[in-house]
């Protein structure tokens, strides 16, 4: 589910601002590699939420954080 959220974000980002464009692609890369969410992800989500130009980029982090909060430890292999 988390990988799907990142796939959607990367596909639907208009590319007008770097936080959303780069953040959504980086999130998808990490999700596909199976790296568990960590402090680097938290920083990336904070930047996306604060610096994206539109509501799409500012709200994508909420979906990711919600899934991480709900499924926490079960996301160790979140790319699978």
Q: Which residues contact 16 (CB under 8 A, 6 or more apart)?
A: 53, 54
Q: Is residue 28 part of a domain?
A: yes
Q: Is residue 57 part of a domain?
A: yes
Model confidence band, residue 75 (pLDDT cutoffs 50, 70, 90) = low
Q: Is residue 80 part of a domain?
A: no
- Tens-place pLDDT, residues 35-67: 777 888 899 999 999 999 999 999 999 999 998
Q: Is residue 65 part of a domain?
A: yes
pLDDT for 9: 96
pLDDT for 76: 56
* Structural domain for 15, as ranges: 2-75
- Give the chain's domain count: 1
- Tens-place pLDDT, residues 19-37: 999 999 999 999 898 877 7
């Amino acid at each position: 589910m988390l990988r799907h959220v990142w796939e959607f974000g990367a596909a639907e980002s208009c590319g007008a601002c770097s936080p959303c464009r780069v953040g959504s692609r980086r999130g998808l890369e990490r999700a596909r590699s199976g790296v568990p969410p960590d402090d680097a992800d938290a920083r990336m989500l904070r930047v996306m939420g604060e610096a994206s130009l539109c509501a799409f980029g500012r709200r994508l982090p909420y979906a990711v954080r919600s899934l991480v909060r709900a499924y926490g430890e079960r996301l160790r292999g979140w790319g699978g």
